[in-house]
Amino acid sequence: KQEVTQIPAALSVPEGENLVLNCSFTDSAIYNLQWFRQDPGKGLTSLLLIQSSQREQTSGRLNASLDKSSGRSTLYIAASQPGDSATYLCAVRMNNAGNMLTFGGGTRLMVKP
């Protein structure tokens, strides 16, 4: 059974710092990996999706990387801002699991002004 872990569970940084959020998964036979942002009391917003054949994806100040062999993905946030404060979740879709995604527990990020 696929297990997805995100460490740390919570992170607090001063504004302007570059930071890395980690996501690890136990089964490397993934179809893709998706990073989401969730604001308090809100739904999930898709940030980046990396297909299994890709190494990284970039969107603005966000860069997500994927290393299937080691079962890891990172989300890099450059020049963090207070508006980046949210919970960040990663989710993996398996090759043989139809439409089922397995989610990590999330990293709660606070960026202090």
Partner 1 sequence: NAGVTQTPKFQVLKTGQSMTLQCAQDMNHNSMYWYRQDPGMGLRLIYYSASEGTTDKGEVPNGYNVSRLNKREFSLRLESAAPSQTSVYFCASSEQPTSTGELFFGEGSRLTVL
Interatomic CA distance for residues 82 and 64, integer angstroms: 20
Residue 103 beta carbon to partner 1: minimum distance, rounded to whole angstroms: 4
Q: From the list 12, 46, 70, 81, which residue makes contact with partner 1 (rule: CB under 8 A)? A: 46
Interatomic CA distance for residues 27 and 98, integer angstroms: 15
Residue 70: alpha-carbon gap to chain centroid: 16
Among 13-21, 61-69, 76-84, 102-110, which window interacts with partner 1 (CB under 8 A)?
Answer: 102-110
Residues binding partner 1 (CB under 8 A): 31-32, 34, 36, 41-46, 49, 51, 89, 91, 93, 98-101, 103-106
